[in-house]
Amino acid sequence: MSNEGCELDMTPMIDVVFQLMIFFIVTIKMEADINPDIVLEKGPYGPIIKGEDPRMLVVEVDRRGSISIHNAHMNTQVFKQIMRARVNRVGHNFPVLIRGDQRAKHADIRKVMDICSGVGIWKIQFAAVKQYASEM
Amino acid sequence: MARKKERKQAENAKLEMTPMIDVVFQLLIFFIVTLKQEDILSHLDVTRPAPDPNAKPEEQVKDLLQIEVYARGFTLRGRRVGIAELDRQLTRLGGISKNISVIIKCTGDSPHANLVQLLDVCAKAGLQNLSVFSM
C-alpha cells in the first residue's frame, strides 16, 4: 500500500528526456571536416560568418602551405581542377573562404588566390577569429 | 475473479525506473562533456584582380591608397608604419570616405597574419574596396 503511494508518474519525465535529447541533437555540431591545427589570426572587426550559404567553399591552408578542402589535402593542380569543375557546375558566384593559418606564408595563400582568380572568382574572403570560445 | 486478474496485470505492467534514470544521466553527461563551444569567426572580404599582367580590368580610380605588407611590417605610401599608425591613418581616411580604393601588396615571405591584421584594420575603418596583389 505504501509502495503504491510513492509511485512516480513517468510521463513528464519522458517528456523532459525527449526535450533534452532533441535539444542536444539539434545543437550539436559535427565539424569533423575542418583542420583543428589551423590557428587563425584575430579579426574582431570583420562581420560574423553565419554559414548560411550552402555553396560556400572553404579552402584551408595550413602553416606549411598545404591546401585542403574538407580535410582532404591536395596539390595546386588538383585544386585548380576542382575549382574549374565547380565553376562549370555552379557558376562564378559562390563565395570562397580561405582559412589560412596565421603562420602560413603569403606565397602559399597567393597560390590559392591566383587559382581562384584564374577561374573567374574575384571575391575572396579570409577567415579570422572574432571572439575565442574561451573569452565568452 | 476477473477484477482480481485485471489488478494483477496492472501491477505487472509497472515500469522499473532505475535503468531509465541511469540512461538519462548517461546521455546528459555524454552531451554535456562533448558539447564544445566554438570560436566565433569573422570574414574579411577582398578582391583579387586577374593574375594576367596584361589585363587592366578597372578604370582609372581617383582615390587610391597603397599599402605594402612585408614580413616585418607595413609601408603606407612608401613610409614604414606600424599597425597602430595604420589604424589611425585608415580610421581618419575612412571618416572622410569609405569608397577609397586600397591596394594591398604582399610579399611572398610575409606571414598571413600580417595581411589579416591589415584587413581587420580596414574593416574597422569601414573601407570595403580592398584589392590584394602579390609582389
CATH number assigned to the domain comprising residue A99: 3.30.420.270
Is B91 among the domain residues?
A: yes
User: What is the pLDDT at residue A1?
Assistant: 46
- Whether B127 and B68 map to the same domain: the answer is yes
Report residue B23's pLDDT band, with 50, 70 and 90 as the boundaries.
confident
Does the beta-carbon distance from B34 to A28 stay under 8 Å?
yes
- Positions of chain A with pLDDT lower than 50, given as ranges: 1-2
Q: What is the mean pLDDT of chain B?
A: 81
Is A33 among the domain residues?
A: no
Does the beta-carbon distance from B37 to A136 stay under 8 Å?
yes
% of chain B residues with pLDDT over 90: 21
Is A24 among the domain residues?
A: no
Is B47 among the domain residues?
A: no
Q: Quick check: B109 pLDDT over 60? A: yes
> What domain range includes position B87?
64-134
Is B127 among the domain residues?
A: yes
Does the beta-carbon distance from A21 to B132 stay under 8 Å?
no
- Whether B21 and B78 map to the same domain: the answer is no
Is B40 among the domain residues?
A: no
- Whether B119 and B77 map to the same domain: the answer is yes
Q: For the segment B2-17, what is each residue's pLDDT rounded down to a tens digit? A: 555 555 555 567 777 8
> What is the number of domains present in chain A?
1
**Pairwise CA distance, residues A31 & A92, whole Å:** 26
Dihedrals φ, ψ of A58, to 5°? -100, 120
What angle is formed at CA A9 by the lines to CA A6 and CA A13, rounded to 5 degrees? 125
Does the beta-carbon distance from A133 to B51 stay under 8 Å?
no
- Whether B27 and B85 map to the same domain: the answer is no
Q: Where are the alpha helices (DSSP H) in B1-135?
A: 2-12, 18-34, 83-96, 112-125
Is B44 among the domain residues?
A: no
Q: For the segment B55-102, what is each residue's pLDDT rounded down to a tens digit? A: 554 544 556 888 999 988 899 888 899 999 989 989 998 888 888 888
User: What is the pLDDT at residue A78?
Assistant: 94
Among A20, A25, A41, most B C-beta atoms within 10 A, so best to mutate, is A41
**Pairwise CA distance, residues B96 & A40, whole Å:** 31
Contact of A71 with A35, CB cutoff 8 Å? yes
User: What is the pLDDT at residue A135?
Assistant: 76
0.90 exceeded by pTM? no
Is B49 among the domain residues?
A: no
> What is the number of domains present in chain B?
2
Please give the residue of chain B at the shortest CA–CA distance from A62. B112
